A and B are shown apart, each in its own frame.
Chain A
Amino acid sequence: MANYTTVHEKSPVFYPEYERKSEARGQTHYCPGCGHGIAHKLLAQAIDDLGIQDRTILVSPVGCSVFAYYYFDTGNIQAAHGRAPAVASAVKRARPGSIVISYQGDGDLAAIGSAEILHAANRGENITVLFVNNAIYGMTGGQMAPTTLLGHKSTTTPFGRNAVNDGYPLRVAETLSVLDGPVYIERVALGNAKQILQAGRAVRRALENQVKGLGFSLVEILSPCPTIWKLDAHQAQQHVREGLSSVFKPGVYCDRTKEAVPRPEPKPGPALTGIPRILGIELNEGASAAPVAAASVDLRIRIAGFGGQGVLMLGQVLAEAGMDAGLDVSWLPSYGPEMRSGTSNCHVRISSRPVDSPLVTRPAVLLALNEPSLRKFISSVEPGGLVMYNGREVPGDCRRPDVDLLARPFTEIADELGEPRAGNIVMLGALLRRIEGIPDASVDRALARVVKTQRWLEIDRKAIARGREVCHVS
C-alpha cells in the first residue's frame, strides 16, 4: 500500500465522530441520497482549502440541517427559524475577524425567514449564505414550500401546487440579485458529479469573498430530497437536473466581486463606561451610589387622559424623579396607535423595595386628565387613595366617599401661564404637595432630563410651582 496515496477522504473540518449518536457515530442523520451531506462536504472542503476552520462560525437553521453543529468542528450557533442571516449579521459585526456562514434550507430562508435574508442581502452584510433548496419542507414531512414547483403534490397541495391558489415557485437567487447590496449570487445544483464540482467552486468563491471582506455572497444549491419526493437517490438526482433546474436555472445572477472594494472593518463599539454620556444621561458622580430613600415609599400611580395631554410624559418625569431619589421605579405606557386624541394611560410604580410588577391595577393615586379617564379608572382606586381630576368638579356619579378627591381645572391654569399643554405638569406640582418621598431636587433634575428644550423647561418649572399653589389654596 505504500505506493498509494490518499486523494479524497473525510475532511478534517468534520468531527471524527458525531457525539449526538450512540452508535455508528461516523454517520450523519441524513437520509440516503440527501443533498445536505454533499453540501456539507463542499462547505467543509472550502473551509479547509481556505485555511479558515479555526475562525469559522457556522449558523445552522431550523430544518433537516438543524444539527449541522454536530458535524462541523467550527464555531457553531443554531438560530431560531429563519433568523440565521440576522444572527450571522450580528456575529459578523461583533467579531469582524470571524468567517460567518448562514446555512439554510428553503422553508427556513424563503418562507419564515424571507425578511431576514432580504435585509441581510440588502445591507450587503459581509457573510456567506448557503441556501439549500429542495423545493419542499423535508423535516416536517413534505409540506409545500415557497419554492415547490407548480403541479407538485405535497401534503398541503394534495392536488398539486396551483399558481392561482398557492402562488409561484419563489426564485430566490433572481429576487436577491436585483438588490444593490450583494456581491455574489450563484445558483448551482447537485444533480451529478459535474454539477457538484461546479457547486464546490461556487461555495469556495462565496467564502473567499468574505475572507477578502467584499460583502454578501449567497449560493443557492438545488438539492435532492429522495425521501419526501418519494424517489430513489438516482431518480432524485435526475429530478434536480431536469425538474428543479428547468424552473430554477443554475448560473451566476450577481457578480460584483471585481469592482467591490473590501468593506472597512467596523469600528469597535464604545466602552461600557462611555454609554451614559452617549445617551445624554449625566450620572451624578458623587451620588453614583444612589441615595438611600429615607422613608418607606410605595407609590402606585395610574395616569390617564387622551393622547397629547402629556400623560406618558408626566409618568416619565415621576419615574425619573423616583429613580433620581434612589428608589426602584417602573413606567409602563399603554396607548393606541394615534399620536393625538386617542386614549392614553400609564402605570407608574415608585418604591423603596424592588418593583415586583409594573402593572398598577389597584392604584393608590389616579391622575385623570379628562372625564372619560376618570369614569374608566375611578372604581379601580383603592380605598383611602388619592384622585386628581382635571376639571372644576368631579361629576356627581363619579364621587367616592372612601377616596381623597381633588378637582382643579389644570389645563385652564396652565393656559393662564401661557401654555395650556403644560396642564399635566401643573397637576404634577399639585401631586407633589400630596405625596411623600420624592425630593423637589429630584423632580427638577428629572424634568431637565425629560424636557429637551430650555423654553419648555422654564414653562414646566413655572407650572410645577403653580400646581403647588393651587393645591395649597384648597
Chain B
Amino acid sequence: MKPGAGRGLVEINVEECKGCGLCTDACIPKVLRLSASLNRYGYHPVEYEGRGCSGCGLCFVVCPEPGALRVLKLAA
C-alpha cells in the first residue's frame, strides 16, 4: 500500500479473515469490501480498496478475529 493513499491504512491477514463482513458494515468511508476470491478455508476475505481509510479503527473494533486486521494511522 502506498503511503499517502489515506490518513489510515488497514492490513488484512487474508488467511485469518472468515469473511463475516462486519467490518464492511462498520467502515464509515466504505473502503472495505469482501473479495471475489476465496481464502484456503473457502471464505471471501475482506479487502481494502486501497484509498480513503481514515484510520478510525471501527473495523478492528467489530472484527471477531483477534489477528485478522491491523489498523495504522498517518503520524501527525
Contact = CB atoms under 8 A, between A and B. Distances in A.
Interface of A: 1, 3-11, 14, 24, 26-28, 30-38, 40-41, 44, 71, 192-193, 196-197, 226, 232-234, 237
Interface centre among A1, A30, A33, A40 (most CB of B within 10 A): A33
16 contacts: A3-B3, A4-B72, A4-B74, A8-B69, A14-B67, A24-B15, A27-B15, A28-B65, A32-B43, A38-B62, A40-B66, A41-B64, A71-B66, A193-B61, A193-B62, A237-B22
Contacts of B68: 27
Contacts of B67: 9-10, 14, 26-27
A40 B41 CA distance: 22
Interface residues of B, number: 35
B44 to A, nearest CB: 10
Contact of B15 (A1, A26, A32, A40): A26
A388 B21 CA distance: 82
Contact of B20 (A71, A192, A196, A226): A226
A31 B71 CA distance: 23
Interface of B: 3, 8-9, 13, 15-16, 18-22, 25-26, 40-41, 43, 55, 57-58, 60-75
Nearest to B7: A4
B15 to A, nearest CB: 6
Contact of A4 (B18, B58, B62, B73): B73
Interface of A is mostly: mixed
A136 B40 CA distance: 30
A32 B20 contact: yes
Given A3-B3, A24-B16, A27-B16, A192 B71 contact: no
Given A26-B67, A37-B66, A32 B19 contact: yes
A3 B74 CA distance: 6
Contacts of A40: 66
Nearest to A223: B64
A40 B18 CA distance: 16
